[in-house]
Amino acid sequence: MQLVEIKAVENSDFDNWLSLWKGYQRFYEVDIPESVTLETWERFLNPTEPMHAALALVGEHAFGLVHSIYHRSTWTTSDYCYLQDLFVAADARGGGIGRKLIEHVYADANRRGVSRVHWLTRETNHTGMRLYDSVGDRSGFVQYRGRVGPEFEAPEDRRTI
């Protein structure tokens, strides 16, 4: 593979980004509504938003994406960075693109004075976990999710969530 360039997305990158974003959704077997996808893209382009996206390019073709969100913490005075999404096209995996995308986020976090980059992955993503174990430490925490919003009424028996 030729030289890989990691760069923040620009408006002209939409088609490359969208192709990878759809691949990411297929990988995780989710279907994010188009309205959310378009709003997310607009957030990446808005300099006042804490959300950021970068692509891994070889020439004009994108092979990977990474999304990050900067946020405050109650544990430190500096911000944290949540690496929300990382995806490398199947035909480009194993060539170091995922590592380069993570390193891009680390470098950006360092420039911003962030004290921690954190992320999640599925327990079954063993390939990804091999990479993550080489660039980060397992936190020992388990993630839980609660359903909220007007369409959700909390059940009396919380075990049904």
- Which tens digits make up the pLDDT trace of 84-93? 999 999 999 9
Residue 68: per-residue pLDDT = 99
Both tokens assigned to 97? 């693109």
Average pLDDT, rounded, for the chain: 92
Residue 24 has pLDDT above 50, yes or no: yes
Q: What is the CATH number of the domain that holds 39?
A: 3.40.630.30
Percent over 90 (pLDDT), the chain: 84
Determine phi and psi for 57, rounding to 5 degrees: -115, 140
Mean pLDDT, residues 10-22: 98
| DSSP structural state of residue 74 | S
Report the 10 Å Cβ neighbour count for 37: 15
Number of domains in the chain: 1
The residue whose two tokens read 């962030």 is 114
CA–CA gap between residue 62 and residue 4 (Å, rounded)? 9
CA–CA gap between residue 65 and residue 1 (Å, rounded)? 17
Domain span including residue 105: 5-160
CA–CA gap between residue 112 and residue 118 (Å, rounded)? 15
Residue 159 has pLDDT above 50, yes or no: no
| DSSP structural state of residue 154 | -
Q: If pLDDT is split at 50, 70 and 90, which confidence band does 157 have?
A: low
Q: If pLDDT is split at 50, 70 and 90, which confidence band does 147 have?
A: confident
Which of 51, 75, 76 lies closest to 65, judged by CA? Answer: 51
Percent over 70 (pLDDT), the chain: 93
